[in-house]
């Protein structure tokens, strides 16, 4: 099929560089394209036998409101993956603009893999599941994992939302990830 499409529509670059068509889509082309898809920045947290764990993610999406369900895509090599899979709980903490440094810490900036150091930078509480809930986040979704699907290098965790907390009004703005950088937006 790809060969037939390439014969009909050959890959081209416009003189102004506005359009580049690449078929088939290679992994790097896909990653470059996804970098242009703005997404909320979230700190995903969980708890388990070894204590709290967490990481920064943008691959979070609503699935349905009946029952309230969201999904989180997690690379299987992420340090927190095993804890989330074993405990079956997580909290999606959608980060506010002023929490960029904390988001960088949970992204492993500077190679920081020490969970105690990551959590030391924020104020935390707990709701229903016991997963850490970030105080001051725009919104927190406290969840129970209901199913997991494996696709490529990632597992997609489908999560029923058991509790929601957060700010009634967001004056500090949100933090988004776009073009491989964080951006604060009002």
Sign of CA dihedral 134, 139, 142, 145: negative
* Pair 124, 140: CB distance under 8 Å: no
Stretches where the chain sits below pLDDT 50 are 1, 5-6
The Cα–Cα gap between 145 and 104 comes to: 25
Q: In what order do the strands lie in the sheet with 39-40?
A: 39-40, 174-178, 181-185
In the CATH scheme, what architecture does the domain 39-185 have? Roll (2.30)
Residue 109: what pLDDT?
84
Give the tens place of pLDDT for each residue, 45-79: 999 999 999 999 999 999 999 999 999 999 999 99
Tokens read off for 179 = 């073009």
**pTM of the shown model:** 0.88
Backbone phi and psi for residue 126, each to the nearest 5 degrees, phi listed first? -140, 155
The Cα–Cα gap between 167 and 152 comes to: 36
Distances (CA, A) of 172 to 43, 98, 119, 183: 17, 7, 21, 13
Residue spans of the domains in the chain: they are 1-34, 39-185
The Cα–Cα gap between 125 and 131 comes to: 8
Residue 11: what pLDDT?
53
Q: Dmax of the chain from CA atoms?
A: 58
Residue 15: what pLDDT?
58
Which DSSP state fits 79?
A: T
């Amino acid at each position: 099929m790809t060969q037939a499409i390439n014969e009909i529509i050959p890959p081209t670059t416009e003189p102004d560089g506005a359009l580049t068509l690449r078929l088939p889509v290679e992994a790097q082309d896909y990653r470059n394209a996804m970098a242009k898809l703005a997404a909320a920045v979230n700190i995903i947290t969980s708890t388990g036998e070894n204590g709290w764990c967490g990481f920064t993610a943008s691959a979070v999406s609503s699935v349905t409101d009946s029952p309230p369900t969201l999904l989180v895509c997690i690379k299987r090599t992420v340090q927190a993956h095993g804890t989330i899979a074993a405990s079956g709980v997580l909290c999606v903490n959608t980060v506010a603009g002023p929490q960029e440094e904390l988001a960088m810490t949970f992204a492993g900036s500077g190679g920081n893999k020490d969970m105690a150091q990551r959590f030391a930078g924020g104020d935390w509480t707990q709701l229903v599941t016991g997963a850490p809930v970030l105080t001051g986040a725009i919104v927190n979704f406290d969840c129970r994992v209901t199913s997991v699907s494996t696709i490529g290098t990632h597992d997609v965790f489908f999560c029923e939302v058991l509790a929601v907390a957060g700010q009634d009004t967001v004056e500090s703005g949100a933090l988004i990830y776009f073009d491989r950088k964080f951006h604060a937006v009002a």
